Structure 1
Amino acid sequence: MNTFNEYNKSPQKPLASGFGKETTAQEALGKRDLSGKIAIVTGGYSGIGLETTRILAEAGATVIVPVRTPEKAAAALAGIPRVELELMDLMNPASIDDFAQRFLNSERKLDILLNSAGIMAVPHLRDARGFESHFATNHLGHFQLTARLWPALKASGNARVVSVSSRAHRISGVDFDDVNFEKREYNRQIAYGQSKSANALFAVTLDRIGQPHGVRAFSVHPGMIVTELWRHLTDDELRYLGALDEQDRRVTLDKNGVFKTVEQGAATSVWCAANTQLDGKGGVYCEDVDITIDIPVNPSDALDSSGIVSWASDPSIAERLWLLSEEMTGVKFEN
């Protein structure tokens, strides 16, 4: 367990941002004008990703949304200005490379990369390389995408990369001995938690290597929001989380304030992507529109309090994950 002095040295120090869990994405942006900025938002046509796209675009940014189903995405994004759709599938490495190369060929700088797409609690599936689907989609796909877009991020000189993690990182750190569940029995909640720890760790090392180039990285817990991401949860799991009402109907916002609206759920991502309060900062995990605190690993703590545990923030673990990710994807970041 870390000592008090070790916690004091952590970059995880709240800013007293003035925002909170009821802050909306529009409020979190502040009065920032994003005219001329280029953003890419994975998962940008559903749930909190859609709200993120809307806020960035209406503030003046051009937002590119990678999609697997163009018709569904076009319908969801109809009426939002300055949005471009491009084909990409995070489970398909060739698709990621093709998307990134098309963007690089446009010779545009990339100011914001928001890695928002993800899957949760799915059955035991593997990607085209044979890797477990949560780790492959939520982490490795975004690792490869960010690496391929690295020249455009560096060219911005003032770019931000935001990875949507989750308080579910507390369920599991990265099991470096069995990341693909080849030795242990598959557990979809542990698989999801492992991938969310990876999202947070990715931001730690990415910020370190990006800082000399003006690229800063953040990870976020958006809050508890009932969206399509939850579609694989059983009624028993939803009931445990308080996401079913007395008639066993799914809720979107409960009277006790546990769940957020989509507008509130996108707030921390937008804040990390564009608010000037974070100028000169990075490598931190944020929630409720502020930098959160380090907390001890305590399995009995479950998911009902703020903070990030060491297995998702430790720089040495982050470096180990980085090397594993390079090995698994065959992709490295250019100097």
Structure 2
Amino acid sequence: MNTNNTITPQEPLNTGFGPRTTAAEAVGKVNLEGKVAIVTGGYSGLGLETTRVLSAAGAKVIVPARTPEKAKAALASIPGVELEMLDLMDPASIDAFAERFVRSGRPLHILVNSAGVMASEEAYDSRGYEQQFAVNHLGHFQLTARLWPALKAAGGARVVSVSSKGHRLGGVDFDDLFFKNKPYSKWAAYGQAKTANALFAVELDRRGQKEGVRAFSVHPGSILTDLARHLSDDELMAMGAVNGQGERGYAAYDNERKTVPEGAATIVWCAVSPMLDGKGGVYCENVDIARQVEPGKEGEPNMSGVCSWAVDPEASAKLWNVSEQLTGVNFETN
């Protein structure tokens, strides 16, 4: 086991893959027999495709869902998937799910934190925490902490945090996380949560290396899934997500706009690829490690790459401490 932390450069590996690579192609001939995976949000959109591909490669996949009956129908065609109850807005539900899994004695080789909400209207959980930050980041932070014994027991595990190019909308406002002193903006809240997803992977990887746990964050691309349910037709039209027939769906696909199998490719690649052995703590896109860029320097609003504030070690350490305080969860004592 590696006891010396290494820093993986935020630079492309030139993998030979690209935006048109599908999740099945990203897995390739990797055999996941005997491996156990948990995929939050694994019954819809990118999560469903991730579940399907990991299962087809031999993994035992557990899909926790807030509405298991809905998930059961979506997963009916994938044999062997286990369904569980989990509500990421409810700390007690998170603890209960994780406790059931840890008590099963199984190691956890792959954890994909994929569930989330995007650009939702202003809402808060029972603790007074803003919904997007609570679900997208804090819920997954607590879940990963509670599953830590199983991740360590794997003798080599990966955690994939599904972020987004939405991190470009802004960093984490540590002075006003929950919009108490400024007007609520659903897009600012989304950007903050997606930045938090990326920062979480940075610090988790730093802390987890000595236990053989590596972490990655991912921008899947722009894929029209149920995640966009809070957006109006006008908003989607402005994003180019209404096709020539006036239906929700991209009229053409490019490096950014993808099909669901293409969107899940980078998630799956980060979860299983031997190319990433000994690496971690990086933001990935288009089935490769992304390059670090600064907004505006290339004059392209949808340019690829990751902004410095989403991979900053100091910000990631600060977010970790704040997250422990907000959730009451300490990784070191699990």
Same topology, TM > 0.5? yes
What's the secondary structure of 2:37's corresponding residue? strand
Q: Which residue is 1:3 aligned to?
A: none
- CA shift for structure 1 position 256: 5.1
Q: Are 1:237 and 2:235 matched, yes or no?
A: yes
Which one of the candidate residues 138, 141, 145 is aligned to 2:143? 145
Match of 2:184 in 1: 186
Distance in 2, matches of 1:170 and 1:300, equals 14
Alignment of 1:99-118 (within 5 A): 99-118=97-116
Structure 1 counterpart SS, 2:200 = helix
* CA spacing shift, 1:161–1:314, aligned 2, 3 Å: same
C-alpha spacing 1:10/1:40, structure 2 compared with 1 (3 Å): closer
CA distance in 2, matches of 1:152, 1:238: 40
Structure 2 Cα separation of the partners of residues 194 and 248 of structure 1: 31
Give the equivalent residue in structure 2 for 1:332. 330
Matches within 5 A, 1:274-289: 274-289=272-287
Q: What is the identity, as a one-letter code, of the residue corresponding to 1:158?
A: G
| CA drift at 1:125 | 0.5
Q: Distance in 2 between matches of 1:236 and 1:265?
A: 23
Tell me, in whole angstroms, the C-alpha distance in 1 between the residues paired with 2:192 and 2:14. Answer: 29
Report the AA paired with residue 64 of structure 1: I
Given that 1:253 and 1:260 are in contact with CA atoms closer than 8 Å, whether structure 2 keeps it comes out as no
State how far apart, in whole Å, the 2-side matches of 1:289 and 1:41 are.
19
Of 70, 73, 95, 1:72 maps to: 70
Whole-Å separation in 2 of the counterparts to 1:126 and 1:135: 9
- The 5 A counterparts of 1:128-277 are 128-252=126-250, 254=252, 258-277=256-275
The 10-residue stretch of structure 1 (291-300 or 139-148) with the greater mean CA deviation from structure 2: 291-300
| 1:290-329 equivalences in 2 (<5 Å) | 290-298=288-296, 303-329=301-327
CA offset digits 1:5-61 (Å, max 9, x no partner): xxxx97201101110000000000120000000000000000000000000011110
1:276: how far off?
0.7
Cα distance between partner residues in 2 of 1:334 and 1:61: 28
CA-CA distance at 1:103 after TM superposition:
0.3
Gaps of 5+ in 2: 1-6
Shift of 1:309: 0.6
**Alignment correspondent of 2:3:** none
* Distance in 2 between residues matched to 1:333 and 1:90, nearest whole Å: 18
Determine the C-alpha separation between the residues in 2 that align with 1:216 and 1:183: 36
* Residues 198 and 321 in structure 1, CA contact (< 8 A), matched pair in contact too: yes
The alpha-carbon distance between structure 1 residues 161 and 255, as it changes in their structure 2 partners (threshold 3 A), is closer
- C-alpha contact (below 8 Å) 1:225/1:259 kept by paired residues: yes
Q: Is the 8 A contact 2:94 2:142 kept in 1?
A: yes
Q: Is the 8 A contact 1:167 1:221 kept in 2?
A: yes
Q: Identify the residue that residue 83 of structure 2 maps to in structure 1.
A: 85
Opposite residue 212 of structure 2, the aligned amino acid is G
Change in Cα spacing, 1:134 to 1:301, as seen in structure 2 (3 Å) is: farther
Partner of residue 4, structure 1: none
**Secondary structure in structure 2 of the residue aligned to 1:208:** helix
243-252 or 47-56, larger mean C-alpha shift: 243-252
Q: Does 1:41 align with 2:44?
A: no
**Following the alignment from structure 2 to structure 1, what is the Cα–Cα distance between the partners of residues 125 and 84?**
21
Q: Secondary structure at the match of 1:85?
A: strand
Offset of 1:166 from its aligned partner?
0.0
In the alignment, what sits opposite 2:4? none
- 1:67–1:10: structure 2 CA closer, same or farther, 3 Å change rule? closer
C-alpha RMSD of the superposition = 1.5
Secondary structure of the structure 1 residue equivalent to 2:15: coil
Q: d(CA) in 1 for partners of 2:205 and 2:14?
A: 22
Cα distance in 2 between the residues matched to 1:179 and 1:299: 28
Structure 2 Cα separation of the partners of residues 131 and 292 of structure 1: 31
Question: How far apart, in 2, do the equivalents of 1:177 and 1:300 lie?
Answer: 30
8 Å contact kept, 1:168–1:303: no
Q: What's the CA shift for 1:160?
A: 0.1
Aligned pair in 2 of structure 1 residues 106, 296: CA closer, same or farther (>3 Å)?
Answer: same
Q: State the distance in 1 between where 2:8 and 2:158 align.
A: 21
> TM-score with structure 2 length normalisation?
0.95
For 1:137 and 1:10, the matched residues in 2 are separated by: 28
**Cα distance change on mapping 1:232 and 1:304 into 2, 3 Å:** same
Match of 2:53 in 1: 55
Question: Per-residue displacement from partner, 1:259-285 (whole Å, max 9, x unpaired)?
Answer: 211000000000000011100000000
Normalised by the length of structure 1, the TM-score is: 0.95
SS, match of residue 72 in structure 2: helix
Given that residues 58 and 81 in structure 1 are in contact (C-alpha distance below 8 angstroms), is that contact kept between their aligned partners in structure 2?
no
Q: CA deviation at 1:79?
A: 2.1
Question: How many angstroms apart in 1 are the aligned matches of 2:65 and 2:321?
Answer: 28
Give the drift of 1:246: 3.4
Q: Which amino acid aligns with 2:138?
A: L
- Whether contact under 8 Å (2:203, 2:316) holds in the other structure is yes
Alignment: residue pair count: 327
Deviations 1:71-119 (A, max 9, x none): 1100100121221000000000000000000001101000000000000
- 1:194 & 1:217 partners in 2: Cα distance? 19
The letter for the 1-side match of 2:282 is V
